[in-house]
Structure formats: structure tokens, C-alpha cells
Structure 1
Amino acid sequence: MNTRQLTELGQQLRVDSVRAADAASSGHPTSSMSAADLMAVLLAHHLRYDFDRPAHPGNDRFILSKGHASPLLYAAYKAAGAIDDAELLTFRELGSRLEGHPTPRRLPWVETATGSLGQGLPVGVGIALSGKRLERTGYRVWVLCGDSELAEGSVWEAAEHAGYEHLDNLTAIVDVNRLGQRGPTRHGHDLDAYARRFQAFGWHTIEIDGHDVDAVDRAYGEAESTSGQPTVILARTLKGKGVAAVEDREGLHGKPLPDAEEAIAELGGVRELRIEVQDPPAARVLHAVAAPGQVELPRYDKGDEVATRDAYGQALTALGGAREDVVAIDGEVGDSTRSEYFAKEYPDRYFECYIAEQQMVAAAVGLAARGWVPYAATFAAFLTRAHDFVRMASISGAGINLVGSHAGVSIGQDGPSQMGLEDLAMFRSVYDSTVLYPCDANQTAKLVAAMAGLDGVRYLRTSRGASPVLYGPDEEFPVGGSKVLRSSGEDRLTLVAAGVTVHEALAAADSLAEAGIRARVIDLYSVKPVDRDTLRQAAEDTGCLLTVEDHREEGGIGDAVLDAFLDGRPVPRLVRLAVRTMPGSASPAEQLHAAGIDAESIATAARLLVEQAVVR
């Protein structure tokens, strides 16, 4: 396309953005209009993509980080022939694929869900890492960002990581339109302010007028020819470009244009340009998937003292040997999470994100989008700062495995800042998630392998200290199941535990038995989905349930157990032991006792529960 045709395509994208938002009576047309020329040139001259084969390994990858500008994306799809005009005008309707913010659950051409600002570039870094270090197919990653989102710290985690990894296959396009939601952005149209920041992280920077299509074209070409550095194109634009009533005006963010018909006329009317996007080069997928049966997991003898975090690292390494699609990521604590075991055996498939947990989770999402099976690990406590990335991963339908080590007060002397006490609640609340909490090494190994075959967000909670191996290496642990470790026809209550508290519950059951009180013990290793049948049977048989967890009372094992009785059936007598105080520094045994979740505390609560049940 020549200059005039590119300009016409930009105007078409503006018109169709206005039309889509007007049909929906909502949306962000002005944010779409500012970036229309940037999108037109990319689509017509530089993007290599087969819309009929979105999984083509040679396709370039485009991420609309400013996801609220979705009308622009959908207008581009129409120009490329991927959707028709009738579908464009279903924008934001119930059942439409064209949601207010794009998601890959609905559209095959969307790499990741966006809309929570500051996430597109971090996920783009993950995809670029896959392209440069693993696939080596030569595709480029293009990320269109807004200037407002550059206030997010996650953007700079991504910028530093991309610079450190020399991701010259990554180009960020920043639509610097000066206006945020409530008024001007921090730096307005000061392109140099943004350039200095990116340059500090090792990026090649280009500053342009984002409405000069020839300048945009040259900038994209310069980005493609830049070696050894990621490139950021800082484009000065005007929000609402082309319509005098809204151009560069405050107070119009997130609103359809006041007079769409007049605006369309001012923009030159409706157009029906169609463009042939360049085909991607031939490419092949480099990684293969081995059958799960080929995995030779580590085996541990009953009675051995092994930390579940050790078993995680060893099992992940075994899984990596059998499956070439498994990759590992860590947040600079691999010696503690035991991800370092995998790193030593398979350095090419290991990614160090340093202490940048948002980038770590985003990298996992990006790698998953490219077909890899990522396992990302850090302390359970530190995953909480990446919760929004976990939430958005679920919206994307991303298949990622997250592992939180050093969970609970049982870590001991490090104190509360290092104790994951909210993680079970966090991950249980995520849509379609799986939450697993093993108590011994063989159980951990089996669950690590099982996670690779699950969908959605999967979370495994591991512990710092060594604990006795309870199960044999051939024991199976289906997700959604549990294990009954003590049971008799004379059971007067049921102790439900997971992880470190399983061992405390067993010791408490032994103590209670000496006092003539039989207690059933359930190892609830699958916290979500929970084993409703076993819990309901225990309630029917014993009438009393006592849950004990190294976690806050809200949202953890106690709530998971309660969920089994929310179908209208009678709720059994239930007591929940959990961490209700603010811990200090103490030994692991002292911590468990102070929190009231050790064997002595469990036995005391059980006696009281049984006595009250008898009185009643």
C-alpha cells in the first residue's frame, strides 16, 4: 500500500471503531482512534500472520495490551477478512465473540486476555522468550501499549527482563495519546521521558509522529532490523484523532462518540478496504510431547524424612526428562523452591525471572500460549503480589502450573513476612483452578506429574521442613480425591488435614485412641476440587468434623470442607483450627503450637468437640 492507501486504511479503522462502539452504546472508540494509523501500517506492511491458521508456528504474535481499545482490534480483523461487518456490529453483545476486552477463550487470534493494564508487555516477553530461546522460528512479537499503563510497575519488570535477555524479536508500540481515563497522563506527550526509561533497561528507542504513516512504516522497519535489543516505538498521537468534537479532549474516555453519524462523515464515510496480510514463513514446532507413562518419578521409602519442596524439584526434573514441552521458571529462589534441580539438568528450558513475581507469572502465561507446559515457583507468600496476573491467566484459559513453597507458620524463625498464609484462599477463588497440598514426597511427585495434564491454573503448595513419607511410591492420588489414613466403625469424629497438619492429625489421633476416642483422619491433598463423597460419608459416620490447616481461617481447607455440604443436606458439627494470630519468630514446632494447630491442640479440640457432642 502507498501512503494514501495506508491513510485510508487508518481512517477505515477509525470509522469501524466508532461504528462498533455506537452499536454497543459503550466502549472506547477514542482510544482506538489514536492508534488506528499504527495498526494500519502494521497490518498492511509488517505483520506476518495466517488468520486461517492461528496456530501456525511462523506467525508473528500481536498483543493489544491496551485491551480497552478492542474496537480497533476488531476493525483490523474485519479489514483482514477474519470477521465480517455484521459480526463487527455485535460488539459487546451477549454471546458475541467480540467482548469489551479481547480474550483467547473467544477468539483464536488473541494471544492473551488484556484489560487489566500493564500485562500485555510482560506476557509478550514470555512469548518472545519462547520464540528466541526455544522455538527459534523467527517470528516477531508486537505489543501495542497505551501510555497510561506505563505507570504500572509490571511494565518495567518486563522492560528490564526483555533488555537483559536481548529480546530483539520483541517490539513495543506505545500509543502516547496524552490522555488517561480521568485526565492527562503523568508525562503527557513527553516522548523523551519514556525513552529515557526504556533506554535505561537496554531498549532501542524510536520516537515518531504516530499519525505519519510513512514515519510509522520506517519505524517498524528499523525495529525489524535492530539486533541484540528489544525496540520500543514511542508514537505521539491524539486521542479521538480525526473528529474535532472529541480530538485531544478530556472527559470522553470509555464513551461512544456523541454523534457517530456526524463523526463518520467527518472521517470520510464507511469504507470496505480489504488487505492481504503477509503470510508467515515456513516453520516447524521444535518441541515434542512424551506419553505420561514414560515418566520415571523419584521413589521414596516409607518413614524417610523428605521435604515436599525437595520432592517437587526432583519430580519436576524427572518430568522434564520425559516431556520436552515442560519448562521451569523461578523468582530467584530456586535453591529454596528446588527448581534449581531442573535448571541444572535442562538449562535451555529454565527461565530465571529474578525477584519479579508478576513477570514470572506473565512469562508462564506467554510460554503456555506457545504450547509449553510451564512450572513457575517461588515462596507461597510472594505469589500474592502476582494475583492479578493469576486472575488474568484464568480469563485467558492459560494452562500454567504455579508452585508455592515455604507455606504456613511451619517455616519457623523467618517470621510472618515469609509465611504463605493466604495462598489457598487466593487460588481457590480463581475460576476453574486446581489447588493441591501434598503431605509427603511420593504424593508430591505424583501430583507434580498429574498437574501437567490438567487445564487452567494449577497450584501446588509445598513445605520447607522434612516430614515422614507416609505413602508407598506406587500409591495413586487422583486429583479430586483424598486419603483416609485412620478409620474404624467406632470413630466419633473426623480430623481433616492437608500438608504439614496431616502428620499432626495422625499424632493427635494416636493420642485420642489412648484415651478411648477413635478419630478418623482424612488427608485432603486435593483442596480444589474437594472430595465431597468422602467428606459426606465421614460426616454421616462420625457426625463431627474438625479441620486443621497451616493457613488463615478464611478461604482455606475449612471452607473447602464446608463447600461439600452446601447442597441443602444437613451440615455436620464443624470446628476449624487455623492460624488466627500474627506469628513471630520461633521454631517450627513452637509455631504450630502457638497457632493451635499441632497434635496437642488438635487432640484438645477433639476432646472438647466429642464431649459437647455427647452432652447435646
Structure 2
Amino acid sequence: MAHDADFRRELGQQLRVDSVRSSAAANSGHPTSSMSAADLMAVLLDGHLRLDYSDPKAPGNDHLIFSKGHASPLYYAVLKAVGAIDDAELLTFRKLGSRLQGHPTPLIPPTDVATGSLGQGLPIGVGVAMAGRSLDKLPYRVWVLCGDSEMAEGSMWEAFQHAGWEKLDNITAIIDVNRLGQTRETMLGWDLDGYVRRIEAFGWKAIAIDGHDVEAIEAAYTEAENTVGQPVAIIAKTKKGKGVAAVEDQPGKHGKPLDDPEAAIAELGGSRDLSVDVARPSTAAPNVFEVPGGSMPSYALGDEVATRKAYGESIAALADIRGDVVALDGEVSNSTHSEDFRNAHPDRYFEMFIAEQQLVAAATGMQVRGYTPFVSTFAAFLSRAYDFIRMGAISQAKLILSGSHAGVSIGEDGPSQMALEDMASLRAIHGSVVLHPSDANQTAQLVAAVADYDGISFIRTLRGKTPVRTAPDEDVRIGGSRIAHEGSDVAIIACGITLDEAVKAAERLAEDGVHARVLDAYSIKPIDAAAVAAAARECGSIVTVEDHAPEGGLGDAVLAALAESDEHAAHVVKLAVREIPGSGTPEELLHGAKIDADAIADAAQRLVGAPA
């Protein structure tokens, strides 16, 4: 039951005091950024937020996301006010081992995602709202507290555009316009009309208010809840450091504890011990997608199939088996072949257009609600969303990323479309899995495997067709490999498009009496360290070959595996794309990059001392 305006003002002061106290205990933090939004959170807690803090996973819960993640002292003060933490834990803020880290993470329920890298909370909130409307079909609302500094981030405007296009009336952005950034005034300062015009242009309702007037805040939240057919943004004029003269609306106070916290607390009226009984959420059950069942696709040995096509057919088949599987694409579904999923399961497919940050953010939001998202675009363009992927690992998110059209083998489109850094960047993500299947049967099995992996996975697929060399019943797994050609004179370790080139090279070498082992390292991370060590031990020398830059890809994964093994004697030669390519046929480009059969055979012959 909501309280009166006086209670809300007092609650706002308590949130300010606790923000000051926790930052003082830590001797670091962002209390002034927290103090500006305290009244906004006080009114939200008291009558509008519907969230069972005793059951953070309840399907009907509203979602509160602090896109303004540096205002974590305020977030933790909120958790204290609702009884989710006690005062003793509040004062562990930023201490080693505390759940209350410098910026919120899911270590402290009911935090959905890690924030703090600005411009991420609102795009992720859009994904949660999409899940609520289209997947769960529940009436929960997504409330996102945004800072005015992050309004300069392009990802925020991708979120505004997509939510407006979707007409998501179950999301409310609360923009804390306190005017002051870290080093200077923000772009628009207190120009609320400037924010209103921009946001309305994207199809939102925009409501400008005094962010310290609890009656105005109440009216704005009520209007947001009653708005149908469009999302709502509340643009709230506030003062950074509100309530303490030494810091209120003063530059140079960002990210610092107050110099005299005791005096500040006294100025704010002293400590309080108010508690809020947050409204309970809907108890309706979420929608469940019925599935007909079936099996994953399989392909005959010798067939020529592009792995991107096998990816599309595999995710469509997987969705027949699992109702939690959803797919999102960056408006290249006829190239990535996620169109196969769209055609089979239109109610679980989401077109995200050419907005890769919002693409990955929406998937992150959907996995918050337990869905398993497959995200596809050209591998090169995932780099635009890299920070969202990096933060996804901190969020303990489950994301499956599929990057097609990788490497020089795509041909005539040229270097702007050729991912040559993707395996390196995705290998660097904490806990990630990086896979590069060489044929369709590998792709199908790996699609099923990553759906069961709790973390971030990347499947690199190919534009061109490759021969099916893996039998449908052969064991293909994360961390596995297979021997595509037997031999013990030299080992060739390849993946993706270079596997076929490596087999051709091995067959050519055999004619000269050199017996090359070809290891198909379809799992780059984790790599099959035992198979790599065996290749070093039994063959003595290794050629790695990849349609990728030399830094951080297959070759470096092989070297890392050897460094951690007892097999240190192998001579390793890395073949990779060392120059910026141009346009040409795939064959010309593979040859020019010296990663085709000719180059592989030449490198192997040099290693074993055979005539070229």
C-alpha cells in the first residue's frame, strides 16, 4: 500500500543518507550521482514497482535496471529499504568478497544484468520488455534508470528506436537529468525540451518533470503505467548531490565520497530506518511454447553444404525440440540463414535490423527470462557489439552468437565484410566457447551443444559450401576435434574453410611420400589439448592454418595448448591472413593469403625437409 508524499520525501532522504554512508565506508563510489535520483526511486518503490524481493525469480516480477550503474550506492540503499539486504551488508560496499560491488552485478539478486558500462541498461531493458510481451506474455513492466551522460551513447538511441518501432508499452525509461557529467556539463545540460523532442521523434511518450517533486513523479509514473501503444520516458530535472550544500550541483564531485559524511548526514536529517513493502507482482504463469519434437538435421557424407545453411536448419530443428530457443538477427537472415528459423517459428524470431548493439542487448534481456537466444549476423559486425558481449560475461549471460561470412573465403565483397579478428576477440571473453565447424554435420551437433552451455558461445560459419566429411553419428562436442587425414610425418591443424585445403595438401604430400596428419580443430576454445599434444608428440612438427589474422586465433590456441602440456619440442608454423585482403574469388584470396593447399603443402614440406 502506497504511503503519502511526506513518507516518500523521507524515504528519498534515507536513500541519500545510505548512499553517503556506504560510499564513506568504502572511501569510494558515486554518492552524488545516487543522491540526484533518490526521490525517483523512493516513489517507484512505494506504489509502482511490483517485485517480490523474497522470490527474485518469480516470473511476474517487474524488472528494475540501473543503466546508470555507477549509482550503485542508491541501488544498494534501495535493497536495504525493501529488506533484501541489511545495514551490515550495505556497509560492505566495494569490499573484497562483498556482493555489493562497485557497479551492480547479478551476484546480488534480483539484479538481472551487470551495468556500469554506460549505454547498456536501456537496450537490455528493451530485450526484457520484448520477452514480457512476446514470449512470457506477462504484464510485468521494465523500469530503467538512465543517466543523462549516457544519453550520448549511440546504443541508447538504438534502444529508443527499436522500442518505439516495437511500440513497447511495458518499458519506462527514467532519465536522471542532473546536468553534470564526470568532467563537465552534459551535452544538453538541463534542456529538458531537447530531450523530449529527441525521444518523441523515436515514437515514445516523453514526460518532463521536476525529479525532486514526489507528487510530479507520482503523476508521471501513473501516466506511464496507463499509456498504451508506446513506451514512456520520464525526463526528470534533478541536482547532483541533492540535499548537501557542499556538493549539490557542484562540478568536480563525481565519483568521490563526501569530504565530511557525518555533516552531510546531519544536513540530510540523520539516519532513518524506513522500510517499504513493495507491491506484489502478478502470479499468472508465463506462456509456454508447445513443441512438436523431432531431431537435429543430418547430412550425407560427400554432400556440399554451407555451414551457415546448416546453422539455419539446425536452430529451426532445435526450436522444434526446445520451447526456450529464440532467434534474433541483424537484418541479414537470408545470408546467415536464420530465415529458416523465422519461417518455421515466426513467434520466436526477432528482427533487430542493422543495430548490432541492440541485437546483442535484446538477446541478453531475453536470457534474463530463461530463454536461449541464438544471435546471428556477419561475424565482422559482432565487433560493434563487443562491449555488450564483454559485459554479458560479467552478467553470467547465456548467449549463442553466430557469425557468418568470415575470412577471405567470402570472396568479392572485400575486407570490410571479412571477419579476421573474431576468433581472437571472442576467445578473450571470460568463459567463452569458440567453435568453427568445417562441415554441416559438425554444425548441427555443435548447435545442440551450445544450447546446453551456460555462458557465451560463438559459432563461426562459412559463406561457401564445404564437403561433409563428418559422419552423422560421429561424436562432435565442445572441446573436441577429429582426424580428417591420417599421418605421422607432420601435423596440419585446420578449421573451417582451411580444413578442406589441408586435406588437399595432405593428399598431395602423400604423393611425395610425406604422410601428414590433418587435425580438424573445430573447437578453438576450448581446444582439444590432448589431440594437439599427440600431434606434437607423434608428428614432431605442426602447421596451423586459419582464415583469420595470425593474432589470437587457431595458431595461438595451439601454441597455448602446447605451452601448458609436456610436449614442448614441436616446431610450429602458423599460416594466417597477414595482409589486408582485397576483392577476388575465394580461391584467389586463399592463395594470395598463403592459406590454401599450395601454401600448406609447401610449409609442411619445409618442416619435414622434403623437396618442394
- Shorter chain as denominator, the TM-score bin is over 0.9
Aligned residue in 1 for 2:380: 381
Residue 508 (structure 1) aligned to one of 485, 505, 508: 505
In structure 2, C-alpha distance between the alignment counterparts of 1:181 and 1:268, rounded to whole Å:
27
C-alpha deviation, 1:487, in angstroms:
2.1
- 1:544-555 paired onto structure 2 within 5 Å: 544-555=541-552
- For residues 206-247 of structure 1, the C-alpha deviation after alignment (integer angstroms, 9 at most, x for no partner) is 000000011001100000000000000000000000000000
Does residue 150 of structure 1 match 2:147?
A: no
- For residues 551-601 of structure 1, the C-alpha deviation after alignment (integer angstroms, 9 at most, x for no partner) is 000000001111112236325211000000111110000010000000011
Task: Please say if residues 147 and 178 of structure 1, whose CA atoms lie closer than 8 Å, have aligned partners that are also in contact.
Answer: yes
Does residue 210 of structure 1 match 2:207?
A: no
C-alpha deviation, 1:289, in angstroms:
8.9
In structure 1, C-alpha distance between the alignment counterparts of 2:570 and 2:429, rounded to whole Å:
27
C-alpha deviation, 1:287, in angstroms:
2.6
Aligned residue in 2 for 1:224: 225
Given residue 78 of structure 2, which amino acid in structure 1 is its aligned partner? Answer: A
Does residue 607 of structure 1 match 2:605?
A: yes
The alignment partner of 2:416 has SS state of helix
The alignment partner of 1:46 has SS state of coil
Aligned residue in 1 for 2:494: 497
Amino-acid identity (%): 59
- 1:71-110 paired onto structure 2 within 5 Å: 71-104=73-106, 106-110=107-111
C-alpha deviation, 1:285, in angstroms:
2.5
C-alpha deviation, 1:288, in angstroms:
5.9
Task: Please say if residues 32 and 254 of structure 2, whose CA atoms lie closer than 8 Å, have aligned partners that are also in contact.
Answer: yes
Aligned residue in 2 for 1:538: 535
C-alpha deviation, 1:611, in angstroms:
1.5
Task: Please say if residues 578 and 593 of structure 2, whose CA atoms lie closer than 8 Å, have aligned partners that are also in contact.
Answer: yes
C-alpha deviation, 1:282, in angstroms:
1.1
The alignment partner of 2:70 has SS state of helix
The alignment partner of 1:180 has SS state of coil
Task: Please say if residues 412 and 591 of structure 1, whose CA atoms lie closer than 8 Å, have aligned partners that are also in contact.
Answer: yes
Aligned residue in 2 for 1:130: 131
In structure 2, C-alpha distance between the alignment counterparts of 1:576 and 1:497, rounded to whole Å:
10
Task: Please say if residues 333 and 339 of structure 2, whose CA atoms lie closer than 8 Å, have aligned partners that are also in contact.
Answer: yes
Task: Please say if residues 540 and 569 of structure 2, whose CA atoms lie closer than 8 Å, have aligned partners that are also in contact.
Answer: no
Does residue 265 of structure 1 match 2:266?
A: yes
Task: Please say if residues 565 and 571 of structure 1, whose CA atoms lie closer than 8 Å, have aligned partners that are also in contact.
Answer: no
Q: TM-score, normalised by structure 2?
A: 0.98
Aligned residue in 1 for 2:469: 470
Aligned residue in 2 for 1:326: 325
C-alpha deviation, 1:305, in angstroms:
0.8
Task: Please say if residues 289 and 325 of structure 1, whose CA atoms lie closer than 8 Å, have aligned partners that are also in contact.
Answer: no
In structure 1, C-alpha distance between the alignment counterparts of 2:569 and 2:391, rounded to whole Å:
34
The alignment partner of 1:368 has SS state of helix
Aligned residue in 1 for 2:41: 39
Aligned residue in 1 for 2:9: 7
Given residue 175 of structure 1, which amino acid in structure 2 is its aligned partner? Answer: D
In structure 1, C-alpha distance between the alignment counterparts of 2:336 and 2:534, rounded to whole Å:
36
Given residue 480 of structure 1, which amino acid in structure 2 is its aligned partner? Answer: G
Given residue 259 of structure 2, which amino acid in structure 1 is its aligned partner? Answer: P
Task: Please say if residues 30 and 241 of structure 1, whose CA atoms lie closer than 8 Å, have aligned partners that are also in contact.
Answer: yes
Aligned residue in 2 for 1:427: 426
Aligned residue in 1 for 2:524: 527
The alignment partner of 1:494 has SS state of strand
Aligned residue in 2 for 1:596: 594
Does residue 68 of structure 1 match 2:70?
A: yes
The alignment partner of 1:81 has SS state of coil
Aligned residue in 1 for 2:343: 344
In structure 2, C-alpha distance between the alignment counterparts of 1:459 and 1:283, rounded to whole Å:
35
Task: Please say if residues 405 and 461 of structure 2, whose CA atoms lie closer than 8 Å, have aligned partners that are also in contact.
Answer: yes
- For residues 108-135 of structure 1, the C-alpha deviation after alignment (integer angstroms, 9 at most, x for no partner) is 2101110000000000000000001111
Task: Please say if residues 208 and 235 of structure 1, whose CA atoms lie closer than 8 Å, have aligned partners that are also in contact.
Answer: yes
Given residue 135 of structure 1, which amino acid in structure 2 is its aligned partner? Answer: D
The alignment partner of 2:544 has SS state of strand
C-alpha deviation, 1:323, in angstroms:
0.8
Given residue 283 of structure 1, which amino acid in structure 2 is its aligned partner? Answer: A
In structure 1, C-alpha distance between the alignment counterparts of 2:564 and 2:485, rounded to whole Å:
27
In structure 2, C-alpha distance between the alignment counterparts of 1:73 and 1:577, rounded to whole Å:
51
C-alpha deviation, 1:275, in angstroms:
0.9
Moved more, 470-479 or 578-587: 470-479
Q: TM-score, normalised by structure 1?
A: 0.98
Q: CA RMSD for the aligned pairs? A: 1.2
Gaps of 5+ in 2: none
Aligned residue in 1 for 2:360: 361
Given residue 578 of structure 1, which amino acid in structure 2 is its aligned partner? Answer: A
- For residues 142-172 of structure 1, the C-alpha deviation after alignment (integer angstroms, 9 at most, x for no partner) is 0000000000000000100000000000000
C-alpha deviation, 1:98, in angstroms:
0.2
In structure 2, C-alpha distance between the alignment counterparts of 1:478 and 1:469, rounded to whole Å:
17
The alignment partner of 1:351 has SS state of strand
In structure 2, C-alpha distance between the alignment counterparts of 1:534 and 1:595, rounded to whole Å:
27
- For residues 370-413 of structure 1, the C-alpha deviation after alignment (integer angstroms, 9 at most, x for no partner) is 11000010000000111000000111000010000000000000
The total of aligned residue pairs comes to: 608
In structure 1, C-alpha distance between the alignment counterparts of 2:537 and 2:301, rounded to whole Å:
31
In structure 1, C-alpha distance between the alignment counterparts of 2:554 and 2:565, rounded to whole Å:
20
Given residue 103 of structure 2, which amino acid in structure 1 is its aligned partner? Answer: H
The alignment partner of 2:46 has SS state of helix
In structure 2, C-alpha distance between the alignment counterparts of 1:217 and 1:72, rounded to whole Å:
19
C-alpha deviation, 1:201, in angstroms:
0.4
Aligned residue in 2 for 1:234: 235
Task: Please say if residues 291 and 319 of structure 2, whose CA atoms lie closer than 8 Å, have aligned partners that are also in contact.
Answer: no
Aligned residue in 1 for 2:117: 116
C-alpha deviation, 1:297, in angstroms:
1.2
Gaps of 5+ in 1: none
In structure 1, C-alpha distance between the alignment counterparts of 2:227 and 2:21, rounded to whole Å:
38
Does residue 308 of structure 1 match 2:307?
A: yes
Given residue 52 of structure 1, which amino acid in structure 2 is its aligned partner? Answer: S
